[in-house]
Structure formats: structure tokens, C-alpha cells
Amino acid sequence: MSDTITAHRPAQRRTLGWVLLEFLGSMNLAITLLVVVAVASIIGTVLQQNQPYSDYVIKFGPFWFDVFNRLGLYDVYGAGWFIAILGFLILSTSVCLYRQVPGMAREMFRFRTQVRLESLRGFHQHAEWRLPERAPAAVLAEVTGAFRAGGYRWRVRDHGDHQVAAAMKGGYQRLGYLFTHAAVVVIGIGGLLDGNLWLKLKEWRGEIAVETRELAARDVPPASRLAPGATPAFRGNIMLPEGRAANFVFLRLRDGYLVQELPFAIELRDFQVEYHATGQPKSFVSQVRIHDQEHLGDQPLDATIQVNHPLTYRGYSIYQSDFGDGGSKLELRAWPLTISRLEPLDAQGEVGSALKVSGPNGSLNLELAEFRTFNLLPEPGARPGDRKFRNFGPSIGFKLRDAAGEAREYVNYMAPVQLEDRWFFVSGVRARSGEQFTYLHIPADTKNSLDRFLHFNARLRDEEGLRALLAHAPAPTENSDVQRNLNLVRLNLVGLFIQGGFAAVTERARTVVPADRLQEATRLYLNILRDTLAEVFLEVLRAEGVNLEQGVGEREDTFFNDALSALAVLPDYGSPFYLQLTGFQQVEASGFQVAHSGAASVVYAGFALLSIGVFLLFYTSHRRLWAWVAADEDGSRLVLAGTGNRRQAEFAREFAALEATLTRRLGAPESRGSSE
């Protein structure tokens, strides 16, 4: 039908340039590119970007880490393929605009007065009048008056034997297509300018080098530093302790980082955090001070930053993003667990620092990784779904790293924890990050201290003391040789126990006893071991001054059983000492994200165009009306037809209203199309 209204285009020669232009401007290509960009954006949203590579290895494993790394999924928006696709989308959409803008501009202002009568009668919305004794000029005046009342613009053309009045309104609806496509181009350009394209270009040209070593900011070489204004857009992070100031942020890039210097300094004056009953942080607020000698002089700017309420200064937005420890000062006491001497080592350190300690197999690095004053955890023994929580108090997290670089992670709670009406010093351990902690529960004595357990453990490791104790113990037999052999067995069993727990004792029985007597022998070994351990424990109680005339009380018996459970898992603990937190001075730190966008206005303009374009496309309609008027015997003939490109039901009502207006003025039409 439209072929009868619009002029036929001349055939175009399919040259290589024409084919390329057709391909770049095709709707299928644009949709495909948009889908790829959308999928990449989903990946970049779901998969946390620009994290340390070690975190990704732990999360995905070596194989998938390498696959995702090769695909650039850890920095989607900075990956070469994403930048190329985004650039190609901008080019494709620009070609669409280049091809469509001239034609759409003509459609917005062309009234299409060249139309045939048969075409108008074929429209879904049409009506036809035969008007005797009505002059064509008078009929045309009535029709254009109705057009004016309906808000239409019109043009009249005289074709000799008939006249055509072509009217239209809502032609600016075509701008919706232009604005939405222009928005894609503008937002795409803003995305390129606002991303790390500048860093990529600098890296490709060899102007910068990503630093992968763990260095203090002052030690980062110039090749890995960016001066203020060197990049128009960036997003970096800094963890700032209370009372400290910094004029730089770290930009995470693949497996390393760059240091971006700022034209001002941020000082954290105070940091406050509140928690929900579940232990999750409810709110955290930073009181900061901005130092900028050039713009503020000697009068710094004081401000408050909290979640969803950033501070914007000189085009730099400072967000509250995280919080942590800022180097709390810790007082520590290391109690030996693998030797018979009970001489603790007192030390002091800061979170984030490392201390050299000696171990049975060489020196170890004690890395103080974390300190928490508040540990709200589910109540032990609570049923699933119960919202019962308890504050377990301050804790320290640390790593013990050997000469080969292998490390175990530990978390020790400062105060004893009550579990099943008994008190324990709790220490968690795991061999690698990402695994669940397994816990060592050391029973606390009547003074809520470690002393009784540590003395018990030390006596078990004192071979000479054990020999003397067994030599003076009441002999179950008068045969000295048998007694000597029995004492040797007892010493060996204690040695096996402290080296490998109960499992080592049963394993030894399996290797020396025939299978048919294994169960009986194992039971005998365990009974001998328990009796020996009980004698050592009694000596510990006597040394404390506990009155044993009435025998061992229930409390001491419970302590003994709990101590055996702790001693049995001690060989797997992996640390030559128990690290006790004896004091601390907390220093909190606030995590800030500083963002600077040189293309923010470009992106905002793109979204404005997109909003206007979507509104025009979905809430307006380009409508056209034609009135064909000709002399007919003793009167005139009028054919009225119209069409709209959207919201057809609404246009049908509007056409019916126009038809009703002309019916009142000219009479009922002779025939009509559908106006439902």
C-alpha cells in the first residue's frame, strides 16, 4: 500500500562500499552487538571485578581461573574485546543514523500530496461522501477546518480534476528513533571515555607499567604512578586509618595496581560503625577533612561521608565503600605447645605487620592479618532458623608462614567462650583460604586461664619428669623387670599420643598386634594411656594446691576429659605455640572509593536523549490524514482517509470523531471503512 504513496527509489549499484554500509547499518548487527554488550555487563555485575587474582584462584580453581583470565572476565569493561565491541556498536549505530536521518527528516516535513483515490479507499480508516449542491471549495474549507480543530497541519494541492488536502501531526515522533540511536552513540562514547581506555592506551604505548609487588605507596616506582589529571576518568580505592591522610588511591588492574595521585589529601578524623543484631554492619560513617592548599588554603574542608551519601569535591566523588582495621596495636603472648618448658614469649605488633618467630623446623613468619573487637556469631547448639546470636568478643586473625611459603590461617578469641556450661579458649585453623575453620577448644581452669592445660601439656612432654613420676608411682607388680617394661610402654604410649593423638596409639596397636587380638590390645593400650595421663594430671592438680583427699571432683574430671580432647587434636593444630591476645589498642580504618569522571556530562546527555527518545517512541504517534475532493455532476465527492504508525485504537477513535464532525456539517457518508 505504501508503494502507492511514496515514490519508488532508483535501483542502487551493489558496490563493495554499499554492501559494507548496508552491513554496518543493519538492524541485526546492532541487536547482536547490544546483546553481547548486555551479556558482558551482566558478567561484570555478577562477577566482582578487579579483585586480587589469588581470590579468583581460590573461588574458581586453577583451571577455570585461567579460562576466565584469558577471556578477560576479571576486568570486563577494560578487556580489549569489550572495547572493540563497544566501538563497533558506536560505528554501527552511527551508520544507521547516517542512512536513516535524511529520510526521516523528509518524512517529518513532507505532506505526501501525491496520492491516488484507489489507495485512499484501501485504508482501514476511510469514509466517502457524495455531496450534491456543494462546491469543492466549500467542502475543502469544511475539511481543513476540521483538520485545524484536531490539531493537524495541512497542505492543499490542486491536481486539475481534483484537490488533495494532506494533513499530519506528531511528526516529531520520528525524532524518537533518532534520539534513541543518538543516545546509544553518545552513551557508548561516554563509556569509552569514562572507562580505563586511557590506561590501556598508556600501557600499550609503554608509558605505564602495572605493579604486582606488595609495596607501600611511597615505594611504588614512577612507571606505576599517575599524576593528577593524567587520566580523565578513574575509580580507585584507599583504606585510611583514623588520624591518617592520603593524597592517592590504588587502581586495581588485572593482577596488579597503579597509584593514582590526587590534587588534594583526604584525612580520616573519626570512623563509627553500628551493627545489626545479626552481626552485619548497619551503618558506618566517616568524618573526613579535605586538605587542598591551592583551593582551600589553610582552611580545610570538614565533611561527613556515609553509604549512599558521597562527598563531591572538584569533580571527584568520594564514596564510603568499606571499613577494616587500620593497624591496631596488639599485645601478644605466645605459649609453647611442643616443648616441656613453659616460658611464654611476650611480643607487640600491629595488624598488617609480620614478626619472626622460631619453630621446631626453622623460623616462621607470624603475619598479623586481622583484629576484631566484635564477633557476633550464631549461638552454639541453636537449631537451624533460630535467630540467636552471641558476641564472642575480640579476636585476632593471623598466618604462620614457613620458609617454603606455605601458610596456615588462624583465628584466636581473646576471652574464653562458654560452650555447654563449660569455658574454653577457642582457636580456629585452616590450611588455605576459602576452607572452613576447624577449632581447637582448650578448657579454661577455675581462674579462667590457660595455666592448668598448659602445665598439663608441658608435663606430658617432659620425658625425664615422666620417668621420675612413673618410678615413684605405686607398682602394680613386685617384679622389677615387668614394672620397668610397663613403665617403658607407658612412656611410649604418651609419646605416641602427644605426637599423633589417639589415632597414633591405635595405629601402633595395628602394626604390632595380631589381627585376632587387635581389639583387646587396643582397649588395653588406651586404658594404660588414660591411667598414665590421669597420674600426670593429678600431679598438676597437686602443684596447684588442689585438695585431693576426697578424690577428684566432678569439675576436675570434666576438665581432664576436655583436656584429653584438646590434646588429641593438638598434633593437627600446626602451630608450635598458642597465641594469646592479652591487650590491644584499636585503630579503625575506613575504605573510600574515589571516582573521577571526565565524561559524566556526556553520559548524562546520552541518558537524557534516551529518555526523550523512548518517550517519543512509545507515547506519541505520527498520524496522517488525506482529503480527496473533486467535482461530481451537480455537486462534489469527498474521500477522507488516515493512518497512524502507533496506538491504532486511539487513532481509530480520533478518526471517528473527525468523521462525526464532518457528518454534522456535510451529512452522513455514503460509505466508510472500519472505525472500531
Mean pLDDT of the chain: 86
Q: What pLDDT band is residue 274 in, cutting at 50, 70 and 90?
A: confident
Q: Return the bridge partners of 331, or none.
A: 348, 583
Whether residue 479 is predicted with pLDDT greater than 70 in this model: the reply is no
Q: How far apart are CA 294 and CA 300, in angstroms?
A: 11
- The predicted-structure confidence for 384-432, as pLDDT tens digits, reads as follows 666 677 788 899 999 999 888 889 999 999 999 988 889 999 999 998 8
DSSP output for 484-519: HHHHHHHHHHHHHHHHHHHHHHHHHHHHHS-GGGHH
Residue with cell 523528509: 106
657: nearest Cα among 630, 632, 623: 623
Distance CA 216, CA 259 (A): 10
Query: Is residue 2 pLDDT above 60, yes or no?
Result: no
Domains of the chain: residue spans and CATH = 113-170+631-676 (3.30.160), 197-230+233-326+589-597 (no CATH), 329-367+436-585 (no CATH)
Report if pTM > 0.85: no
Question: How confident is residue 347, by pLDDT bands cut at 50, 70 and 90?
Answer: very high
CA distances from 375 to 95, 272, 285, 400, 648 (A): 59, 16, 20, 22, 64
Is the pLDDT reported for residue 289 higher than 80?
yes
The DSSP result for 595-661, as a single string, is: EEETTHHHHHHHHHHHHHHHHHHHH---EEEEEEEEEETTEEEEEEEEEESS-HHHHHHHHHHHHHH
Residues 6 or more apart in contact with residue 232 via CB below 8 angstroms: 193, 198, 596, 597, 598, 599
> Contact 635/112 with Cβ under 8 angstroms?
no
Residue 128's DSSP bridge partners are: 639, 671
Q: How far is 108 from 174, CA to CA, in rounded Å? A: 7
How do residues 30-69 score in pLDDT, each as one tens digit? Answer: 888 888 888 888 888 888 877 777 778 878 888 888 888 8
Residue (of 462, 449, 444) closest to 342 by Cα position: 462
The pLDDT value recorded for residue 1 is 37
Which segments of 76-161 does DSSP mark as H helices, in order? Answer: 80-109, 117-121, 136-149
Average pLDDT over residues 291-304: 91
Whether the per-residue pLDDT at 322 is higher than 70: the answer is yes
Q: Give one DSSP letter per residue of 544-588, joined into a string.
A: HT---TT---HHHHHHHHHHHHHHHHGGGT--SEEEEEEEEE--E
DSSP string, 259-271: EEEEEEEEEEEEE
- Overall average pLDDT of the 250-268 stretch: 90
| Span 620-641, pLDDT tens digits | 888 899 999 998 878 899 999 9
Q: From 312, 226, 252, 247, select the one nearest 597 (Cα to Cα).
A: 312
pLDDT of 384 reads 61
d(CA 162, CA 144): 15
pLDDT for res 471:
77
**251: amino acid identity, one letter:** L
pLDDT tens track for 570-617: 999 989 999 999 999 989 899 999 998 877 788 888 889 999 988 888
| Model pLDDT for residues 70-118, shown as the tens digit of each residue | 888 888 877 778 888 888 888 888 888 888 888 888 878 888 888 888 8
**Local structure of 35: helix, strand or coil:** helix
CA angle 100, 650, 3 (to 5 degrees): 40
Q: Is the pLDDT of residue 6 over 50?
A: no
CA distance 658 to 671: 15
In 465-538, DSSP assigns E strands to: none
CA distances from 254 to 257, 577, 632 (A): 8, 38, 81
